[in-house]
Amino acid sequence: MIEIKDIHVTFGRGTPLENRALRGLSLTIPTSQFVTVIGSNGAGKSTLLNVLSGDAQAERGRIVIEGVDVLRWPTPRRASLIARVFQDPMAGTCERLSIEENMALAFARGRSRGLGSSLGAARRAVFRDKLSILGLGLENRLGDSMGLLSGGQRQAVSLLMATLTGMKILLLDEHTAALDPRTADFVLELTRKIVEEQQLTALMVTHSMRHALDYGTRTVMLHEGQVAFDLDAEHRKGLDVPDLLKLFSKVRGEQLDDDSLLLG
């Protein structure tokens, strides 16, 4: 269970650019729930993920994971609990290292061992096994440098790497936004599979209303640093994109008739 209680994050406090990105946001996410997060630009979606991972500092509030308050834990300590995949396929991997070396680094994350001790025949077999799940033939390209892969291949490997060592929380920050629609669908289905199989607690930020409704079992909309609405499985059932757009418009106080408007 993740309990986010009355979290406040302000950037540039006391400066002309002061920005109250999160304004007393509270959200409780039961273990193994897959939540999609929507909201306009600047609503606070990435900041919510950042404050969970420790990349943004909260000045007030509590973040409790499985009963432990982790708010003052530094990012590396939280990395033993929380995995993350970013929008930019280049962000989660090192292009100059091989697929195997990248996976070895991910394997060592949150552990005290370095890269060297992570390589070896047994581990290589595990990596091959994991990569074969993707169906992209990457299990036969362990020595290829990451930079040779397409954005979609890279994002699929990033997802595998993020979930390699049993972290129980997965944060996805528009992780398919930079991919073409077909590749995005592939990575989203892979996401669904991994979340279900590993029973992860997942938060997926998306600008796509369709994806917000099609994935996970709950959709939360942020607006001006707070939860504007929160649709559980029961309330989400039967809702279509126009219904969600109506709810969205109501919160923003303006008419929206096209999913793409949300990107602007």
Ligand X SMILES: Nc1ncnc2c1ncn2[C@@H]1O[C@H](COP(=O)(O)OP(=O)(O)OP(=O)(O)O)[C@@H](O)[C@H]1O
Which residues contact ligand X by CB under 6 A? 11-12, 19, 21, 39, 41-47
Min dist. Cβ of residue 45 to ligand X (A): 3
The nearer residue to ligand X, 113 or 210, going by C-beta atoms, is: 210
Q: How far apart are CA 56 and CA 12, in angstroms?
A: 12
Which residue in the block uniquely carries the two structure tokens 């100059």? 96
Distance CA 47, CA 74 (A): 16
Q: 94: left (phi > 0), else alpha (psi -120 to 50), else beta?
A: beta
Burial bucket for residue 253 (CB in 10 Å: 0-12, 13-18, 19+): exposed
Q: Which is nearer to ligand X, 45 or 84 (CB)?
A: 45
Decide whether 38 or 106 has the Cβ nearer to ligand X. Answer: 38
Closer residue to ligand X in complex, CB, 19/165: 19
CB 82 within 8 A of CB 66: no
CB of 17 to ligand X, least distance (A): 7
Nearest CA among 197, 190, 188, 252 for reference residue 215: 188
Nearer to ligand X, 41 or 255 (CB): 41
CA distance 14 to 12: 6
